[in-house]
């Protein structure tokens, strides 16, 4: 399988723990880079570098707000990850669908007794 | 995802190696619980649509085991093994789940059954020994569902990426 360029792959982007920390913080709302760097104990250039990677894979969006630039989470970018982790969940969601149907049959059968 | 696990580095210690799935079933808790306790019930719903099971042995008690074969719609068989570690009717079941009794990658799930009006909320909380084992289990279940080739490629790819990151 061909390797995607480092910055174009969402799996690579979130393999870095500090980038995951950034995403967790951004889940609470938009923040400027200075605040992210402070809260996570990173240098500002370090945080900016991570944000650039996250933006390039579509996990983070930025917008200008006055003199500041605010960074926010774009969770749609996590879709490939969600789909990848979906196997176990899907197995159980489908089993629970069948369980639901089966229990409804059981319930009806007992009521008819 | 619950809102209680917010906050950067110090999240729940197992957050990166667990999977939580919940479901509300419109039936009383005793009845929903019962569907987990006998093989004649379990065999009717275990696995995605199109799957069937053949049971070799079944003993629903703490320390008891369920050994069975799961048959996929494409004819593939999967050996499965369950051992119950806690049974508290009609509230809670804890079990270990693997391919055989000596499966080193077996993992633990805790099922809780809570009344939700006239319905029942099931929550299944699965904690894997390591994040890598969680990912492998996820990959395995993808394979079970048929996305075999693509996903094993993807898994190998991601594993490599993570290893490179660690070394970098």
Give how far B46 is from chain A: nearest CA, Å: 5
> In three state form, how does the secondary structure of chain A look?
CCCCCHHHCHHHHHHCHHHHHHHHHHCCCCEEHHHHHHHHCCCHHHHHHHHHHHHHCCCEEEEEECCEEEEEECHHHHHHHHHHHHHHHHHHHHHHHHHHHHHHHHHHHHHHC
The partner residue sitting opposite A99, judged by closest CB among B11, B35, B143, is: B35
| Confidence at residue B154, expressed as pLDDT on a 0 to 100 scale | 42
Residues 17-36 of B with CB under 8 A from A: 19, 21, 23, 25-28, 31-32, 34-35
**Which tokens sit at B134?**
């969680």
Contact B154 A84 (CB under 8 A): yes
pTM of the model: 0.59
Residue A82, class by beta-carbon neighbours within 10 Å (0-12 exposed, 13-18 middle, 19+ buried)? exposed
Picking from A39-43, A59-63, A71-75, which range would have the lowest pLDDT averaged per residue?
A: A71-75
The partner residue sitting opposite A95, judged by closest CB among B7, B48, B165, is: B48
Residues B143/B151, Cβ–Cβ less than 8 Å: yes
Q: Select from B113, B144, B161, B167 the residue whose CB has the most chain A CBs within 10 Å, as the one to mutate to test that interface.
A: B161
Contact B45 A95 (CB under 8 A): yes
**Proportion of chain B above pLDDT 90, given as a percent:** 44
pLDDT tens, B1-18? 333 333 334 456 777 788
Higher pLDDT, A40 or B8: A40
Q: How confident is the model at residue B151 (pLDDT cuts 50, 70, 90)?
A: very low
What ipTM goes with this model? 0.73
Strand ranges inside chain B, DSSP E: 18-25, 52-58, 65-71, 77-88, 92-98, 107-116, 119-127
Rounded to an integer, what distance in angstroms lies between the CA atom of residue B117 and that of residue B88?
A: 21
């Amino acid at each position: 399988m061909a390797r995607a360029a480092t910055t174009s792959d969402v799996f690579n982007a979130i393999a870095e723990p500090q980038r995951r920390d950034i995403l967790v913080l951004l889940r609470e709302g938009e923040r400027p880079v200075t605040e992210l760097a402070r809260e996570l104990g990173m240098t500002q250039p370090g945080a900016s570098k991570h944000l650039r990677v996250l933006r390039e894979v579509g996990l983070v969006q930025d917008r200008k707000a006055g003199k500041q630039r605010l960074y926010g989470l774009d969770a749609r970018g996590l879709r490939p990850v969600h789909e990848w982790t979906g196997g176990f969940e899907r197995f159980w969601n489908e089993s629970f669908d069948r369980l639901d149907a089966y229990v409804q049959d059981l319930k009806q059968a007992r009521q008819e007794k | 995802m619950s809102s209680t696990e917010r906050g950067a580095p110090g999240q729940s210690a197992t957050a990166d190696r667990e999977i939580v799935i919940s479901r509300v079933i419109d039936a009383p808790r005793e009845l929903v619980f019962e569907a987990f306790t006998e093989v004649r019930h379990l065999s009717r719903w275990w696995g995605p649509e199109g799957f069937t099971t053949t049971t070799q042995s079944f003993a629903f008690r703490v320390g008891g085991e369920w050994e069975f074969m799961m048959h996929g719609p494409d004819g593939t068989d999967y050996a499965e093994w369950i051992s119950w570690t806690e049974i508290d009717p009609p509230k809670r079941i804890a079990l270990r789940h693997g391919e055989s009794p000596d499966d080193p990658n077996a993992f633990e799930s805790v099922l809780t059954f809570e009344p939700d009006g006239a319905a029942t909320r099931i929550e299944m909380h699965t904690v894997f020994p390591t994040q890598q084992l969680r990912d492998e289990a996820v990959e395995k279940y993808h394979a079970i569902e048929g996305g075999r080739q693509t996903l094993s490629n993807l898994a190998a790819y991601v594993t490599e990426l993570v290893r490179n990151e660690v070394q970098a």
